[in-house]
Structure 1
Amino acid sequence: MLGRVAADGTTTPTWEEFARELGQNLARARAAKGISQERVAHLAGLTSFTYQKYEKGESRPGTPMNPTLTSLVALSQVLEVAIVDLLPPVLPALGSE
């Protein structure tokens, strides 16, 4: 993680890094459950394309994903993991791009 260094010396991820890690967490949870991207997407009410982009941490090429709360809840239910387990442990700084 490259992130941003705050005045106190702590590092916070950029939104892009945060989204990428969220996507990796989705992919790991899906693999642990042993189901396809298409199945997760269908059960969560998303298109396959959208879910594939989520696993890459994108919404469009070069744009970090920003899923709705409804989508996150649906994905956590489908993958049978708590939302907090999908989110990276360090939140990005507000306004980071």
Structure 2
Amino acid sequence: MPQRRTSLPEWAVTRRRELGQRLGDARRAAGMSQEHLGDLIGVERRTIQRYESGTRDPRYTDLLLLADALGVPLADLVRE
């Protein structure tokens, strides 16, 4: 995957971390492991870990699948 030419602005990094925190909170509230959630949406546990730690942005389709698997509205995951 090509590298980004410029660094992300700090507000974007902060939002990515907040999204990861909400994902992790919703997963734990649903009583799921990262492995199980990854299996449900078709990605590796490592990918879920990266989403939750804020080191990787989920694709839009993955966000839709995550919200569905966790039983939460997409808006709750991506809210400011």
TM above 0.5, one fold? yes
| Alignment TM class, shorter chain as reference | 0.7 to 0.9
Residues 1:18 and 2:18 are matched in the alignment? no
Uncovered stretches (5+) of structure 1, i.e. residues with no partner: 1-12, 60-65, 90-97
Q: CA RMSD in A?
A: 1.1
1:88 — aligned with what? 79
Kindly indicate which of the two structures has a greater share of residues assigned to helix: 2
**1:4-27 C-alpha deviation (Å, 9 max, x unpaired):** xxxxxxxxx711000000000000
Q: Trace 1:9-88 onto structure 2 (pairs within 5 A).
A: 14-59=11-56, 66-88=57-79
Larger radius of gyration: 1
The percent identity for this pair of structures is 39
May I ask how many residue pairs the two structures share in their alignment?
Answer: 71
Structure 1 runs (4+) greater than 3 angstroms displaced: none
Give the TM-score normalised by structure 1. 0.69
Give the TM-score normalised by structure 2. 0.83
Uncovered stretches (5+) of structure 2, i.e. residues with no partner: 1-9
